[in-house]
Chain A
Amino acid sequence: MKDSLLEVKDLEVTFFNRNGKVRAVRGINFDVKKGEILGIVGESGSGKTVTNLSIMGLLKGTGKVTKGQIIYKGENLLNKSEKEMLKIRGNDIAMIFQDPMTSLNPVFTVGNQITDVIMRHQKLSRKEAKKKTIEMLKMVGIPSAEERYNNYPHEFSGGMRQRAIIAMALSCKPDLLIADEPTTALDVTIQAQILELLKELKEKLNTSIILITHDLGVVANICSRVVVMYGGMIMEEGSVEDIFYTPLHPYTKGLLQSLPKTGGKMKERLIPIKGNPPNLANEIKGCPFADRCPYTMDICREKQPKYYYDGENHRGMCWLLDKSINGKGENHEE
């Protein structure tokens, strides 16, 4: 994997609590290339957010990375001290969060909060940093940015706040932006604007973006590659076209079937995926999706499948893809 900005190798994250351990992320591999938008899709509890908090070194409470490497520009972030991470967070890797209503501190002006981030990472005077803040606010499309600088968060609307948060995250021109459900709390028209803005800024600043979402519509809109997570594992990875047109994994297929389609028949029913995600506190021997999968075979519950490739960059983790079992598969093994 040449031109990779970030490589996550064999990552495992475990939360230790009184009743035992919860293996939230169970050995995942993926990489983010320079200047691309990678979507990470999955339902709640699939390990998307935990993965990205481990990249930032911000796992809270009892959570620990128990295995693996996170290679950023050739260096393993997991070996960095807290002091070194302080310089990386916000400067090299920035993050934006789901709820813009609570992401800003209510008792500081919006401008001040962005200026603080700039001054933290760059040797600028307050005046210069302020100038840069106003530039950033303009870039994310906040009208009359000079006046808005002195507004408090409660004087901003939700969409405006998310714009301000994006301005804050991009203020130090990070190489990687992790966007954790950036549009979930916004209404649909604003969602589209924010996605458009992210796409535009990615082009302008050449920032790579990891977009975490449970919304396949968002993925189709702006991502170039997609990682589908379930039960702390990657079920499938491929380009947007691979995932939407030739999905390999039953879980991905299920996700697509539960989406409403435009142009489909009016009375066509959406097909939900039955059941609940697995309890990660339990040991899972086979495939984590086995209990909900319509094609479950005996081997699915006994042994964890390998990755099977369909082309160089499209892989899925499912026994159905094994032609020695399935018979009709044409994919080659890893």
Chain B
Amino acid sequence: MRRLIVKRMLQTIPMLIAISIVSFLLIKLAPGDPVQAYITPEMGPTDIERIRENLGLNDPIHIQYIRWLKNVLKGDLGYSLVNHRPVLIQIKERLPATIGLMSTSLIFSMIVGIIVGLLSAANQNKLFDRIVTLISYLGISIPSFWFAMMLIFLLSLKLKLLPSIGMRTIGVHSTWDLIKHAIMPTLVLSIQNIAVIARYIRSSTISQLKEDYVIVQLAAGASRNEILYKYVLKNAILPVITILGMSLPSLVSGAFITESIFGWPGMGQLGVTAIFSYDYPLIMAITMFSSLILILGNLLSDVLYSVVDPRIKELN
């Protein structure tokens, strides 16, 4: 097990380098000019050229990349081109809010998805199952920004139940306040995952219920519930662990949209602002952090997989 983890950790290094090259190129290829953030009406073309020279933007692209990489390896992620604060500090400020939102959403969608999926399979083709199926198709199809707007419209504007923006009310430091702010972003970020997980759990439970070990356990006096929640669940949960790894990208990208809509002070919101203002160092840093979260998430799901299924452990 330890060897597996170390091996996978080492594999992430070339992966991260590849990701950084691609995103560096993409950013440079995108139209727009970061110098615009510096320009004031009094500046002439020579001033602009001087700024460009100072920022190293006139060097060939590979020199720029190597310079960036060297600094990163020294632990220096550079300074924001816009507000000139160190990138690392800005990310550190934003990271907890994002990780908090993402993990809450992940846990929430796992719990709801698994329970709904199991109940749905146990009541296959009955009313409950049909309603769940309908809702989960809606959940998969609805664009998250639209769902977010509808939630704000209904819960904040009409019913005035929940705050529509931010993470805290200014001057209030209660947990309840934080929870109230987090409900809608978590819902928006989770709805798709809940739908996907519920569908997967439903279908894998239905196929597991046809396995021989189910009738063997029935014949040994196990009740339907014991079979469903003990013997079948552990088998049915396997594909969900894979989905867990697969759903991380949508969580990360979902965070960009969701955080922007709800003014959630996380990395996603920071990223969107950075992209609009061509803040290269910040964009690069956020891309790298998001990739790191993704890779670690996938590693985690691989490790979990071999914990749940003894047959996988053997292969490693």
CB distance from A238 to the nearest CB of B (A): 29
Residues of A near B212 (CB, < 8 A) are: 97, 99, 102-103
CB distance from A6 to the nearest CB of B (A): 15
- Smallest CB-CB separation from B234: which chain A residue? A107
Residues of A near B211 (CB, < 8 A) are: 102
Q: Beyond A102-B213, A107-B234, is A95–B219 a contact (Cβ under 8 Å)?
A: yes
CB within 8 A of A105: which of B217, B223, B314? B217
Mask for A108-119, Cβ within 8 A of B = 1, else 0?
100000001100
- B218 near A108 with CB under 8 A, answer no
CB distance from B233 to the nearest CB of A (A): 10
- A94 near B219 with CB under 8 A, answer yes
CB within 8 A of B311: which of A103, A108, A154? A154
Complex Cα gap A91–B314 (Å): 35
- B234 near A90 with CB under 8 A, answer no
B310 within 8 A of A: yes
Residues of B near A91 (CB, < 8 A) are: 221
Q: Beyond A99-B212, A107-B235, is A117–B220 a contact (Cβ under 8 Å)?
A: yes
Give chain A's interface residue range (CB within 8 Å of chain B).
20 to 34
Complex Cα gap A91–B235 (Å): 26
Most chain A CB atoms below 10 A, which of B215, B231, B234: B215
- B220 near A89 with CB under 8 A, answer yes
B49 within 8 A of A: no
- A103 near B216 with CB under 8 A, answer yes
Task: Tell me the residues in window 51-101 of chain A with beta carbons closer than 8 Å to chain B beta carbons.
Answer: 56, 58, 86-91, 94-97, 99
Interface of B is mostly: helix
Q: Beyond A152-B310, A154-B314, is A104–B213 a contact (Cβ under 8 Å)?
A: yes
Task: Tell me the residues in window 158-216 of chain A with beta carbons closer than 8 Å to chain B beta carbons.
Answer: 165, 168-169
Task: Tell me the residues in window 100-118 of chain B with beta carbons closer than 8 Å to chain A beta carbons.
Answer: none
Complex Cα gap A235–B234 (Å): 45
Mask for B218-237, Cβ within 8 A of A = 1, else 0?
11111100000001001100
Complex Cα gap A102–B219 (Å): 15
A120 within 8 A of B: yes
Complex Cα gap A206–B310 (Å): 37
Residues of B near A90 (CB, < 8 A) are: 219-222
CB within 8 A of A107: which of B216, B219, B309, B314? B309
CB within 8 A of B215: which of A58, A87, A108? A58
Complex Cα gap A94–B237 (Å): 29
B272 within 8 A of A: no
- A89 near B219 with CB under 8 A, answer yes
Residues of A near B215 (CB, < 8 A) are: 58, 97
Contact surface of B with A, Cβ cutoff 8 Å: 211-213, 215-223, 231, 234-235, 308-311, 314
Closest 4 CB pairs of A and B: A90-B221, A90-B220, A95-B219, A102-B212
- 22 interchain pairs (CB within 8 A)? A56-B219, A86-B223, A89-B218, A90-B219, A94-B219, A94-B220, A97-B219, A99-B212, A104-B213, A104-B216, A105-B213, A105-B217, A106-B235, A107-B234, A107-B308, A107-B310, A116-B222, A117-B220, A120-B220, A154-B311, A168-B220, A169-B219
Contact surface of A with B, Cβ cutoff 8 Å: 56, 58, 86-91, 94-97, 99, 102-108, 116-117, 120-121, 152, 154, 165, 168-169
Given contacts A90-B219, A102-B212, 11 further A-B contacts (CB under 8 A): A56-B218, A56-B219, A89-B221, A105-B235, A106-B310, A107-B234, A107-B235, A107-B310, A121-B221, A154-B314, A169-B220
